[in-house]
Amino acid sequence: MSENETSLAERLSALVGRIRQRARQHKVAAAGLAAAVLIAPWLVGWIFSARRPGDVVARRGTLTPSVALVGTLAPARSDSYGAAVPGVEVKILWLAEEGTVVGPGDRLIQFDPAPFQKELDTARARAKELTGEADQARLAVQAMALRESEDLQEKRSDAESTERELTTLVNSTAPLTAAESAADVETRERTLDEAQAKLDGLAPFVSQGFVSQEEYRAAVTRRDQAAADLKIARARYAALVHQTNPDLIRRKAEEADGRRYNLKIVEQKNRVEHGQAEAAERVAQARLEEANRQIAEAQSRIGACQVTARAPGLAVYSEVFDKSGERRKVRVGDSVWGGTTVVTLPDLSRMQIEGRVPESQIHLLASGQKARLRLDAFPNLELTGTLKSIGSVGASEKNESRSFPAVVVLDQSDPRFRPGMIGRAAISCASLTNVLYLPIEAVHSDEHGPFVYSVSALGGVSRRAVQLGTSTAQFVEVRGGLDAGDVVRTAGD
């Protein structure tokens, strides 16, 4: 018995069971029930005679959809190498042979270092000259610092000495001289008093003849001299207190102010001169550092003229435009600008297929899904891989549908693999359980949408619209319009 016949027999058996159950519920006569049971086999035979070989049954089960990806083989990692000096045109002296596999540290490109060697020689000569200038500027700063220190020490010592002299004059010398002058006045006053007293004592005895006129005149002379000395002492004291000492104090104070002012002027002058000398030293040092930077840059450019591989890979030359405007592979003798890629080094130990998938199948994909792969160059070689990424930017196709880039990384590698080979992958998506499905050929579509040719239990065929879901290479999910066990004809009458 065929699969369709088995399914139909199961449906009829279930129908008979329901008839018996209803008969028991409604107490139908046993004769009627027996007749129905007797008719059932005949009915099955009649229905089987109405079936065709192309009829299929909608079933429930598990679907494991897959998404097809066709693309080109490419390295998962590819390093680019070229002139590392921006803004400078350099000449290629040597290239690793294209198609050879190189390892880390192997030489790939040799550019002409002559222009940079000239820059290096010029920078070194300039640095040598500027080194002498920087040394002279540094020594000038040191000499100036010593000279300024001595000058400041002298000016500061003079100012401090004048300050001490002023303090001594105000606190000691002037008061002492004033006191001495006052004491001299007092002495002169006592001398005058004594001379006057003697003169007064002699006066009564002159008329009596006991004191000679000569002795009396001598006493008068002594008194007059004492009076004159007192007058001079008083004048000297007044001049000392009111003029001499104040003048001395004022001049000494002015001298101290002058010394302090000169000290400030010298300090400011030294700061300015020292700042100028230090600025000159910084300028000389900056010029020397610039020359050293130019040396380091020239050395770096010379080092960049020899390009070595950072990782293993297959040497592939880049294309350039020649003077006629034609594209060709780069070669020895060409001059390229800094930043131009000369050799690409794809890593053949890790390959991937880069292709595009339809927008309608994006919802089935997720990074990490497994895939089965084949290469057109090796059709008998079965490979496996993993979906690495799905692009986020779509592009329009010729049929107005949209597609998105997808990348599948191969689990295996082979020295025979080459970038650009055509690869075909079937990405296994998540399984759908307990879904209703039909063979893809049983579903049709027109301007109204998808539909099927449904076969009734009595053999009649009718068109029935259906709602579809996920599909695989052989089956499609039916989300609405059919029930499990419904029969569908692959082609209408």
278, containing H or E segment: helix 245-304
Select the more confidently predicted residue: 86 or 8.
Answer: 86
Q: Please list the residues that pair with 163 across neighbouring strands.
A: none
Helices vs strands, H then E, count in the chain: 6, 27
Q: Where are the beta strands (DSSP E) in 285-443?
A: 306-308, 313-314, 316-317, 319-321, 327-329, 335-337, 341-346, 351-358, 370-375, 378-390, 395-396, 402-410, 422-428, 432-439
Q: How far apart are CA 101 and CA 316, in angstroms?
A: 10
Q: How far apart are CA 362 and CA 348, in angstroms?
A: 29
pLDDT tens digits, one per residue of 317-331: 988 887 788 888 999
CATH topology of domain 58-64+431-493: 2.40.420
| Main-chain phi, psi angles of 485, to 5 degrees | 95, -15
Q: How far apart are CA 362 and CA 359, in angstroms?
A: 5
- Boundaries of every domain in the chain: 1-51, 58-64+431-493, 69-111+306-427, 117-304
Whether the predicted pLDDT of 293 surpasses 90? yes
Supply the DSSP string of 37-70, one letter for each residue: HHHHHHHHHHHHHH--TTEEE-EEEEE--EEEEE
Q: State the pLDDT at residue 176.
A: 92
Among 17-26, 171-180, 457-466, where is mean pLDDT lowest?
A: 17-26
CB atoms within 10 A of CB 208: 7
CATH superfamily of 69-111+306-427: Efflux pump adaptor protein, beta barrel domain (2.40.30.170)
Q: How far apart are CA 153 and CA 160, in angstroms?
A: 10
Q: Please list the residues that pair with 74 across neighbouring strands.
A: 352
Q: Quick one: average pLDDT of 240-254? A: 90
Count Cα neighbours of 412 within 13 Å in the Cβ-side half-sphere.
Answer: 13
Closest of 82, 32, 58 to residue 319, by C-alpha: 82
Whether the predicted pLDDT of 183 surpasses 90? yes
Q: State the pLDDT at residue 472.
A: 77
Mean pLDDT of the chain: 84
Q: State the pLDDT at residue 84.
A: 83
Q: How far apart are CA 169 and CA 161, in angstroms?
A: 12
Q: How far apart are CA 395 and CA 158, in angstroms?
A: 91
Residue 272: pLDDT band with limits 50, 70, 90: confident
Q: Is the dihedral of CA 474, 477, 483, 488 positive or negative?
A: negative
Q: Quick one: average pLDDT of 231-256? A: 91
Residue 20: pLDDT band with limits 50, 70, 90: low
Q: How far apart are CA 481 and CA 164, in angstroms?
A: 120
pLDDT tens digits, one per residue of 103-159: 899 999 999 999 889 989 999 999 988 898 888 888 888 888 888 888 888 888 888
Write the DSSP symbol of residue 489: E
Q: How far apart are CA 472 and CA 441, in angstroms?
A: 12
pTM over 0.75: no
Q: State the pLDDT at residue 31.
A: 44
Residue 19: pLDDT band with limits 50, 70, 90: low
Query: CB neighbours of 266 closer than 8 A, spacing ≥ 6?
Result: 151, 152, 155
Q: Please list the residues that pair with 465 across neighbouring strands.
A: 451
Percent of the residues in the chain that have a pLDDT greater than 90, as a whole number: 33
Select the more confidently predicted residue: 148 or 436.
Answer: 436
Whether the predicted pLDDT of 426 surpasses 60? yes
Whether the predicted pLDDT of 275 surpasses 90? no
Contact 477, 438 (CB under 8 A): no
Closest of 481, 477, 385 to residue 425, by C-alpha: 385
Instruction: Give how far the C-alpha of residue 375 lies from the chain's centroid of Cα atoms, to the nearest Å.
Output: 41
Q: State the pLDDT at residue 45.
A: 46
Q: SS3 of 493, please?
A: coil
pLDDT tens digits, one per residue of 304-316: 899 999 888 888 8
pLDDT tens digits, one per residue of 369-424: 999 999 999 999 999 999 999 988 877 766 667 889 999 999 988 888 888 899 99
Whether the predicted pLDDT of 64 surpasses 60? yes
